[in-house]
Amino acid sequence: MVQEELEAREELTEKLISVNRVAKVVKGGKHLRFSALVAVGDGKGRVGIGMGKANEVSLAIQKAGAVAKKKMVQVPLAGTTIPHETVMKFGAARVMLKPAVPGTGVIAGGSMRAVLEVAGVKDILTKCLGTTNSVNVVKATMKALTELREPEQVVAERKGSLPAKG
């Protein structure tokens, strides 16, 4: 109940990435269902993705949105871009994310663009390597965004792991 009130206060944008018709062959014929992939974010570094399946498209989208809201993570941003370059792999999909100077815009393909825009990234260069399967590309993008670290965090980690002099 408290979380619902918090979500009502913060503005979340929801973007539909893909809808897929799934057929299961059963004794009486084909059973058709729909799966939807949705990205949800607040535009300030919080983003989540979700998949939902249902007999109707609208229900699948609602389910996917609910899953995405539950799985939201905080992504470190450096102004309007990301702190550093990263390459991430998920399945056969490899994605490369590179920080860009202000004014560049989001240079990304359809499914990656949706995730980055709802996260609040305004300037970034990306490249999708390997497969263009939207589900795997989105998961690789999310994995890459969660692996990003801020410079202060890296410095703190390195100071803690330095051997003692003496």
Q: Where are the beta strands (DSSP E) in 42-123?
A: 46-54, 73-74, 86-90, 93-99, 106-107
Q: For the ranges 4-18, 54-68, 109-123, 142-156, which has the lowest average pLDDT?
A: 4-18
Tell me: the pLDDT tens digits for 150-159? 888 888 888 8
**In this structure, are residues 98 and 85 in contact, taking their beta carbons and an 8 Å threshold?**
yes
Q: What is the pTM of this model?
A: 0.87
Q: How much is the pLDDT for 7?
A: 52
CATH 3.10.20.600, domain 2-73, yes or no: no
CATH assignment of 76-154?
Answer: 3.30.230.10
Mean pLDDT of the chain: 90
What stretches of the chain adopt beta strand conformation (E)? 13-26, 29-41, 46-54, 73-74, 86-90, 93-99, 106-107, 124-130
Same fold, 2-73 and 76-154: no
Going from N- to C-terminal start, the domains of the chain cover 2-73, 76-154
- pLDDT tens-digit profile of 2-32? 565 555 557 899 999 999 999 999 999 999 9
